[in-house]
Amino acid sequence: MNILVTNDDGINSKGIFDLVTELKKLGHVTVVAPDGQRSACGHALTIENALRVKKFYKNDEFFGYAVNGMPSDCVKLALSEILDTKPDIVVSGINHGQNTSQNIFYSGTAAAASEGMLAGIPSMAVSVVSFDTQYDCRPAAIYAAELAAKLPGLGLPKDTFLNMNIPSLPYNEIKGTEITQLSNATWKDAYEKRRDPFGREYYWFSGEYISADEESGSDDWALNQGKISVSPIRINFTNSEFADKLKSTLLELSTL
């Protein structure tokens, strides 16, 4: 199996290293990942600037290609320029911090998986519920690799990728896996207004994640039970039902 791996925490993060270590047991792994932290970059693409690709070594061994761009750039560059053959799967992660609910909008980890999906490749995103950059992702990586091995055979629809979140528990304390939907948790946005050393104002995002973890069957609910959450994420933007309603409403507009 040929596996393309990327992430949004950067090629030097612990999550991607632990993931790659496990995935190498499944087949040939190529890592193409950002050269640094790109959290919350969403599906951003670099089109106004030059992209550099540099070989990245870890523990004196070649580990992969570091790109001065976004996770989506990494997938596109890998498929267009770096890989000789189309990979069998794309795995994005392991992200330090859960990607549940509305976080899918902002997550570079999820965007990279959707970029793989757009290219017609079975793809998945993986995250652990810990923002600690030194968190030991080896237990999570074992579970992630197990799902990755099954990915080509799952019959994923063309518009769907998998989003896996893993609790921050020791390997043996994980209570199982749930197939989930995204929870209705939201961000309560807030900004801290501060002053720089020159007395000028600036803002820093300090939003709070408001969980709605009561909903049985949601990703946040599963994680709170100590279970792994796997959500099939469909990206199908057209609201066809509402389109029908809109047709009659908009006919009333004069010039439109």
Count of residues interacting with its own copies (CB under 8 A) = 83
The interface region with its own copies, picked from 24-32, 55-63, 124-132, 153-161 by CB under 8 A, is 153-161
Check residue 45 for interaction with its own copies (CB under 8 A).
yes
User: Please, what is the minimum distance in Å from the beta carbon of residue 37 to its own copies?
Assistant: 7
Among positions 62-91, residues that touch its own copies (CB under 8 A) are 72-73, 76-77, 79-81
Q: Which is nearer to its own copies, 59 or 251 (CB)?
A: 251
CA distances from 50 to 45, 46, 54 (A): 12, 8, 13
CA end-to-end span of the chain, whole Å?
53
User: Please, what is the minimum distance in Å from the beta carbon of residue 61 to its own copies?
Assistant: 23
Among positions 198-227, residues that touch its own copies (CB under 8 A) are 200-205, 207
Q: Which is nearer to its own copies, 72 or 130 (CB)?
A: 72
Exposed, middle or buried: residue 189 (CB in 10 Å: 0-12, 13-18, 19+)?
Answer: exposed
Q: Which is nearer to its own copies, 62 or 242 (CB)?
A: 242
User: Please, what is the minimum distance in Å from the beta carbon of residue 59 to its own copies?
Assistant: 26
The single residue among 52, 132, 210, 216 that binds its own copies, judged by CB under 8 A, is 52
Q: Which is nearer to its own copies, 155 or 170 (CB)?
A: 155
Q: What is the dihedral of CA 36, 107, 210, 159, to 10 degrees?
A: -170
How far apart CA 190 and CA 205 sit, in angstroms, is: 6
Q: Which is nearer to its own copies, 63 or 143 (CB)?
A: 143
Check residue 156 for interaction with its own copies (CB under 8 A).
yes
How far apart CA 126 and CA 244 sit, in angstroms, is: 37
Compose the 3-42 pattern: x for residues touching its own copies by CB under 8 A, - for all others.
----------------------------------x-xxxx
Q: What are all long-range contacts of 129-135, with beta carbons under 8 Å and residues at least 24 apart?
A: 129/97, 129/98, 129/165, 129/166, 129/167, 129/168, 129/223, 130/96, 130/97, 130/168, 131/96, 131/97, 132/96, 133/9, 133/13, 133/14, 133/96, 134/14, 135/14, 135/15, 135/96, 135/168
The single residue among 11, 31, 43, 121 that binds its own copies, judged by CB under 8 A, is 43
User: Please, what is the minimum distance in Å from the beta carbon of residue 214 to its own copies?
Assistant: 17
